[in-house]
Structure 1
Amino acid sequence: MASASASGSGPGLVLVGVGPGDPELCTVAAVRAIQAAEVVAYPVARLEAEGMAARIASPWLRPQQRRLPLVFPMVAEAAPRRLAWRQAAEALALEVAAGRRVVLLCEGDVSLFASASYVLLALLEHHPDCPLRLIPGITAASAAAAAGAWPLALQRQTLQVLPTPDDPAELEALLEAAMACPEGQRPVLALLKLGARWSWVRPLLEHLGLLEDALFARHVGWPEQLVAPAAAVPSEGEGASAYFSLLLIRCGWPQVLPEIPPGLG
């Protein structure tokens, strides 16, 4: 199995979560690893693209560092994606074998719905001796909750983080199951990759009486960020269906709380 640590003084690979968008949300560990690297790798949809992770980390990059864009095709087919992950792992392992300090930048967190996770699995299988370590990053859900002053989970509540279902019936069943939990233990749902689904998710929340207890977030951490009560965001219109949007849904409050401020419950 690969080494659990890759020090900044010797060759190795560090998978770095750079957060959802704001460079100031990069951790101290992330910034140190980025600045210590000789090679900075990052995912792109095509070679000529900048890459969102590289854009987030740009204030911390140095001119003398070599850039290594890794193409991860945005396709549904499994074969091209598997090939891309394997090729990325080979390219990174080759750099480390040549004695270089390498970082792979990852938007958000390196372990949560991350392309870096697939590269990690390929490295563990094909290059188990490659020294590596992972630096976690702030997730978009955490950043959205902080921006909205919106507590994510309290006491015995659970937090469910999942991509927004494609099927309205699937989401309705999920929400109804959450509402059926004992009072005080009803979960909070973080629905990622909301996108165009907002056009039918909003009326569903309204139908179930959950719209007033939901927070909508779009482009968290970027200059165009929008974090607002879900009831204030129309189901259609400019920006409503942005790919980088998410929804936080509170299905209930714990029984022992201070007085809940207006607009939160």
Structure 2
Amino acid sequence: MGLDRDLLVGAAVAAPGLTLVGVGPGDPELLTVAAVRAINAATVVAYPVAEPGAEGMAARIAAPWIAPDQRHLPLLFPMVEEAEPRRRAWHAAAAALAAEVSAGAAVVLLCEGDASLYASCSYVLLALAERHPACAVRVVPGIPAVAAAAAAASGEGMAWPLALQQEGLLIRPTPESPEELIGLLEQAAVTRTVLALLKLGRRWRWVQPLLAERGLLTAALFARRVGWGDQLLAAADQVPAEAQPYFSLLLIRQSWPEVLP
């Protein structure tokens, strides 16, 4: 770490309440000053885990900024497709957090990436508003993976501004079918919209040849586990058409604005 925790956060005063903190995609140095200060001020650090006893990715990202005397509160967020187990988990997490705040604790809930963009903690936020409206909540935004990927690629000689001039930017999960992706690509081409496709994972097996057929593979940026030690940034034609980790994404630009340097 090249940062001094004490110099960065300064004095922090704990106040009862809950702060949802986006911790960015993986690099602890990509946390905002506001995020670090919120963590430093907390008496309780909550974070999602996929199963009991597991290490939370958000907690791992923020680990350099968590003090030894802060109490940890892992919250179970099962990675399942069924709606009801996830709904129960959101409400259980909301109840646990509200109870801590009611007891006078200053609590942070750590969230991977941005706290409002495809974030599990967004559902906790909604559950709190529904069942625990008296719980004081604030949200600290984080750097999303798409922005971190574009920045990291540009720093490695692959100039990749996310959007220019009148370009649109569409961020969404990778479609489940080739037909849906083709529709997105055609609409994006007409509207000069850059596509940022998240949660690429196993879908890369059919996305890669589809983009190759349409001549879009070479100019697309593939990013995997942005901000982690095993980060991969590459032109998409350099990545084999095989299943990729869940935290993989793709940036697709089909044309450039007319006015460029």
Give TM-score scaled by structure 1 length: 0.90
1:246 maps to: 249
Q: How far apart are 1:174 and its partner, in Å?
A: 1.0
Find the aligned partners of 2:236 and 2:127 in 1 and give their Cα distance.
39
Kindly indicate whether residue 22 of structure 2 is the aligned counterpart of residue 17 of structure 1. yes
The aligned amino acid for 1:57 is A
Residue 51 of structure 1 is matched in structure 2 by 56
Match for 1:168 among 154, 178, 181?
A: 178
Partner residue, 1:158: 168
Equivalent residues of 1:198, 1:235 under 8 A apart? yes
Does residue 32 (structure 1) correspond to residue 42 (structure 2)? The answer is no
Other-structure match for 1:262: none
State the aligned residue count.
245
Instruction: Kindly state the Cα deviation for residue 234 of structure 1 after the two structures are TM-superposed.
Output: 1.5
1:114-125 to structure 2, matched below 5 A, reads 114-125=119-130
Query: Shift in Å at residue 145 of structure 1?
Result: 0.3
The answer to whether the 8 A contact 2:14-2:43 is kept is: no
Structure 2 unaligned spans of 5+: 1-11, 155-159
What TM-score results when the alignment is normalised by the length of structure 2? 0.92
Q: Is the 8 A contact 1:191 1:247 kept in 2?
A: yes
- Distance in 2 (CA, whole Å) between partners of 1:102 and 1:8 is 12
Secondary structure of the structure 2 residue equivalent to 1:211: coil
Supply the distance in 1 between the matched residues of 2:178 and 2:56 (Cα, whole angstroms): 32
Map 1:109-148 onto structure 2 (within 5 A): 109-148=114-153
1:8 shift after superposition: 4.8
What is the rounded CA distance, in whole Å, between the counterparts of 1:167 and 1:38 in structure 2? Answer: 45
Change in 2 beyond 3 A, CA 1:8/1:78 = farther
Q: CA offsets per residue over residues 74-132 of structure 1, 9 Å max, x none?
A: 11111111110000000000000000100000000000000010000000111111111
Aligned equivalents of 1:11, 1:217: Cα separation in 2? 39
* Residue 224 (structure 2) aligned to one of 213, 218, 221: 218
Cα distance in 1 for residues equivalent to 2:97 and 2:21: 14
Q: Does residue 191 of the first structure (1) align with residue 197 of the second (2)?
A: yes
1:206 aligns with 2:209: no
Paired position in structure 2 for 1:228: 234
RMSD over aligned CA atoms reads 1.1
8 Å CA contact 1:40–1:104 kept in 2: the answer is yes
* AA partner of residue 241 (structure 1): Q
**Which residue in the other structure is 1:4 paired with?**
none
User: 1:180 offset after TM fit, Å?
Assistant: 2.8
Amino acid in the other structure paired with 1:89: A
Query: Which amino acid is the alignment partner of residue 250 of structure 1?
Result: R
In 2: Cα distance, 1:33 partner to 1:179 partner = 42
Extract structure 1 runs of 4+ deviating beyond 2 A: none
Instruction: Say if 1:8 and 1:33, in contact at 8 Å, map to a contact too.
Output: no
Report the Cα offset of residue 9 of structure 1.
3.5
8 Å contact 2:38–2:108 — kept in the other structure?
yes
CA displacement 1:167-201 (0-9 Å, x = unmatched): 111101111222233xxxx1100000000111111
> Is the Cα–Cα contact under 8 Å of residues 42 and 107 in structure 2 kept in the other structure?
yes
Please give the alpha-carbon distance, in whole angstroms, between the structure 2 residues aligned to 1:8 and 1:217.
Answer: 38
Q: Distance in 2 between matches of 1:66 and 1:233?
A: 42
Using the aligned pairs only, state the percent identity.
68
Work out the CA distance in 2 between the residues paired with 1:192 and 1:116. 18
Are 1:68 and 2:60 matched, yes or no?
Answer: no
Partner of 2:85: 80
